[in-house]
Each structure stands twice: as C-alpha cells, then as structure tokens.
Amino acid sequence: MDKVFLRMKKEVREIQEGLARIVVPMGSLISEPHSKLPAFYNPKMRNNRDIAVLFTISQGVRKIGEPMAGTGVRSIRIILENGNIEEAFINDLKREAVKFIRENLRLNHIGRNTARVTRLEANLFNIIHSLPGNRVEYLDLDPYGTPAPFIYSSIMALRKRGVLAVTATDTFTLKGFKPETALARYGVKIFKNIFPSEVAVRTLLYYISRAAASLEYGIEPLAAYTQRHYVRVYVRILRGPGKAKESQKRVGYITLCDHCPFWKISDEEFREERCPFCSSKLRIMGPLWIGVLKDNETISRILDTRGEAYWIEEESWKILRRIAGEIDTVGYYDIPLLASKLRRSPPSMSEVISSLRERGFKVSRTVFSTTGVKTDAPLRELVGSFNP
Ligand SMILES: C[S@@+](CC[C@H](N)C(=O)[O-])C[C@H]1O[C@@H](n2cnc3c(N)ncnc32)[C@H](O)[C@@H]1O
C-alpha cells in the first residue's frame, strides 16, 4: 500500500470484487455509500458491474472510457476480467477518488500503458474523447442521480458502433412518479402507471435516442433492466442520418385507461378516445421508446460464456436469463395488481402463463417485475385466465 493509504489504514479496507482487489473507504462498507466519503463505492452495485464486464467481452471491446469512476473498481474489473483491453481511460472529478483509482491500479499491477487516469469534469472528459482517434468502443456512464446532462457528450465520445452503458438512479422520476421533473429533465409526459419499471427504461431510451438523433446517429438497445434503486441500459450507437431517422420511427406514445389495466401503443399524440374495455377516459404518455429493448443474439452470446466466467455472481446470470426470456412486447401486466383492479383472486404466475400459451399467445415473465407477465394477448383473454 502506498504511503498516503498506509496513513489512512483505519479508514480504508481492501476487498475483493470479481478478479480485482480494491481499496475502498471503510464507510462505504458499513452504511449506504454517500458523496461525503473520499471515494464512492457501492457493494450492492456488484451485479451491475458483473454485467458490464460480460458486455465488454461479448462485444470484443478493447478501448473503454469511464467518466465517473469512483474507486475505479468498474474499469479495473473490465481490464482484468475482459483480458483484451488495450486502453482504459478512467476519470473522476473528485481529488480523493483519483487517489483511490491510482492506488487500485497499482494494487492490481495495471500500468500506465493500459490505464490513463484523469481528473476532469465528465462532460469535458467526454468532449476530449470525441476528437477523432480519442474515441472509445465502450463508455460506462454511472453518475449520482440523472445521467441526462452527460448523454450528448457520452455519445460523441464513442466510435462507430460503440456501446454506451448508462446507469440512472433518479428512478422515481423515470417511472412517472414525478411528472413535472420528467417533463423538464427528459422531455416526456409520463405519470403514475401500471408498468413503472418499463416506463423508466423507455423514458431513458427515448432520451438517448433523441440526443443521438440530433447528432445524426441512431440507437440499437442491447439490454435494459431495472434493479432495486437503478435503471440500466446498454445501447449501440449507429452512425448516419438514415439510422437516426430509422430509430425515431421507434418513438411513440402509450395510451392508458384511467380506470382499468387497458393500454395500447399509438404513434400519434392525442385522439379523444374511450377505453374499449370499460369506456373510461384514456390518457397518453410519451414520447417514449417503443422499439425492442434487447438484442437476443448479444444476450445469448453473453449467456454462453457462463462456463468460463466463474467469478460472476449467480444473481447477475439470473438477471441476464430474465432478459433473455422476455418476449419483445410493450408493457406488462402485474398479476396481483390486475387481480385487485378486477376484484378477483389472483391465479399463480404459472397458471396465467400456461393458460395463455395453451390458447396460442406469446407470453413470458419480465425482468421488470417478479409478479409481471408480458403477452401479446388482448386484455380480455388475460382476464379469462383469472378465477371468477
Ligand atoms: C456513482 S459514483 C461512480 C461509481 C463507479 N462507477 C462504480 O462502478 O463504482 C459517481 C462518481 O461520479 C463522480 N462525479 C460526480 N460529478 C462528476 C462530474 N461532473 N464529473 C466527473 N465526475 C463526477 C463522483 O465523484 C463519484 O465518484
């Protein structure tokens, strides 16, 4: 341990995460991590980092950037566990965090030829990396709260077909519980709804697609999910005005009933309509990303590495399996919520799934809710699988 860290011995602790040994502030292990600590480390985000490592492997990534790196654990794990990283650009604005990053690189025997550390504001870091020759293949954006102020510059820092990974922790806003903030921050009209976690992902993807389109880029979502307090998306950036226009065709609106669990997708902003199920008023949410949320080939390629990546936690594979198993439809039905709206007793998840499948509908569980099902069946058919 270097001299500065030896002096801090009582305040720091060396831990193992994945294949990396990491020095972290002791405070981050005994309570919820917060911005007052010398460097930010959240042990509960291990699965988020596990999946990030697997993505870089599946995409054959060699050059990465992390504008908000905390202790550097994420980039260091990617370097060690990917095994093919040629250049990693690791940055944090906080002076103490940069010391942790340097110490952690030393601890893991990662030299300056592979990892370059900077102390810059994240947007400035991204803009420097937007210069031709400086761009990265994978950029991991992991701020406190909303990523919105950093999306444009992050897209600019990516090479052709580069992958942008984004974590957002302003989940309440993204889910629709704070309509005014969502409108101001993401430019969407959303409100409290029956599939909030999916709305969160579709809001963030809309915002990324909007930013990309104004730079004349399109997007291809590779994976999207929510866990505890955060939303996470992986998006491939596709260059060219044609790609931008194509992506914008996947932006639309979701019309929901005020009273019952009916909804539908629409590409128009508003048409005075009544619910075909219960005749109540319909409300419209959007604009939102209404295209697919994942690339099946990428996810199955990641799942195929299961035998080799023995250090990845079971919980991370579970998230990936849930993503893989999802059918590509918009929205999901939360079975207990649906039962309470219908004033009926809820059937088990497996009963609902097999009953819809037997009648020829597509149906799956969802990564967004342990009690949710996705299906292409109309609401009337789904209601048919409930006990009277
Ligand atoms: C959530 S933490 C990052 C955690 C890290 N990515 C990981 O996986 O452990 C957010 C980090 O962003 C840094 N930060 C906050 N605002 C910043 C800014 N404008 N520019 C650069 N870094 C910033 C903080 O110091 C903090 O270390």
307 domain residue, yes or no:
no
In the 8-state DSSP scheme, what is residue 56? Answer: H
CA distance 225 to 15: 27
Measured in Å, residue 151 CA sits from the centre of ligand 1 at 14
CATH number at residue 363: 3.30.56.70
For the CA of 142, the closest atom of ligand 1 is 6
Q: Which range has the worst mean pLDDT, 115-119, 338-342, 359-363?
A: 338-342
Q: What residue owns the CA closest to ligand 1's atom 25? A: 94
- pLDDT at residue number 9: 63
CA distance 331 to 263: 8
Question: Which has more confidence, 294 or 38?
Answer: 294
pLDDT for 254 beyond 90: yes
- pLDDT at residue number 273: 81
Measured in Å, residue 93 CA sits from the centre of ligand 1 at 7
Measure CA 62 to chain center: 21
322 domain residue, yes or no:
no
Q: Are residues 100 and 204 in the same domain?
A: yes
Q: Which range has the worst mean pLDDT, 44-48, 50-54, 68-72, 353-357?
A: 353-357
Q: Are residues 101 and 219 in the same domain?
A: yes
Q: What residue owns the CA closest to ligand 1's atom 6? A: 69
Per-residue buried b or exposed e for 272-305, using 16+ beta carbons within 10 Å of the residue's own CB: eeebebeeeebebbbbbbbbebbbeebbeebeee
For the CA of 42, the closest atom of ligand 1 is 9
34 domain residue, yes or no:
yes
Q: Are residues 359 and 267 in the same domain?
A: no
Q: Are residues 127 and 73 in the same domain?
A: yes
183 domain residue, yes or no:
yes
325 domain residue, yes or no:
no
41 domain residue, yes or no:
yes
Beta strands in the chain (DSSP E): 12-17, 20-25, 63-66, 87-91, 115-118, 136-141, 158-168, 217-227, 230-239, 251-257, 263-266, 282-289, 333-334, 363-366, 369-375
In the 8-state DSSP scheme, what is residue 30? Answer: H
At residue 244 the predicted structure's pLDDT band, cuts being 50, 70 and 90, is very high
From 34, 71, 93, mutation site for ligand 1 pocket: most ligand atoms within 8 A of C-beta = 93
pTM: 0.96
- pLDDT at residue number 270: 64
Q: Give one word for 288, left, alpha or beta, with left for phi > 0 and alpha for psi -120 to 50.
A: beta
Task: Please state, for a pLDDT cut of 70, what percent of the chain lies above it.
Answer: 96
Kindly state the average pLDDT of the residues 32-45: 87
From 144, 166, 170, mutation site for ligand 1 pocket: most ligand atoms within 8 A of C-beta = 144
Q: Are residues 35 and 156 in the same domain?
A: yes
Q: Are residues 283 and 342 in the same domain?
A: no
How would you classify the pairing of strands 333-334 and 282-289?
unpaired
Per-residue buried b or exposed e for 11-25, using 16+ beta carbons within 10 Å of the residue's own CB: ebbebebbebbbbbb
- pLDDT at residue number 8: 67
pLDDT for 283 beyond 70: yes
Question: Which has more confidence, 245 or 38?
Answer: 245
Task: Please state, for a pLDDT cut of 90, what percent of the chain lies above it.
Answer: 82
Helix (H) or strand (E) holding 6: helix 3-7
Q: Are residues 374 and 257 in the same domain?
A: no
For the CA of 67, the closest atom of ligand 1 is 21
Helix (H) or strand (E) holding 73: helix 73-82
- pLDDT at residue number 37: 86
- pLDDT one-digit tens code per residue, 256-273: 998 888 999 987 766 778
Q: Which residues have CB under 6 Å of ligand 1?
A: 40-41, 45, 49, 67-70, 73-74, 92-94, 97, 121-122, 142-144
309 domain residue, yes or no:
no
CATH number at residue 136: 3.40.50.150
At residue 1 the predicted structure's pLDDT band, cuts being 50, 70 and 90, is low
Output the average pLDDT for the chain.
93
In the 8-state DSSP scheme, what is residue 238? Answer: E
Write the single-letter amino acid at 80. Answer: L
pLDDT for 31 beyond 80: no
- pLDDT at residue number 231: 98
- pLDDT one-digit tens code per residue, 169-213: 999 999 999 999 999 999 999 999 999 999 999 999 999 999 999
Kindly state the average pLDDT of the residues 122-130: 98
Kindly state the average pLDDT of the residues 51-55: 98
Measured in Å, residue 54 CA sits from the centre of ligand 1 at 21
Q: Kindly tell me the number of DSSP H helices and DSSP E strands found in the chain.
A: 16, 15
Find the domain containing 363 and state its range. Answer: 332-388
At residue 6 the predicted structure's pLDDT band, cuts being 50, 70 and 90, is low
Q: Count structural domains, the chain.
A: 2
Measured in Å, residue 276 CA sits from the centre of ligand 1 at 48
336 domain residue, yes or no:
yes
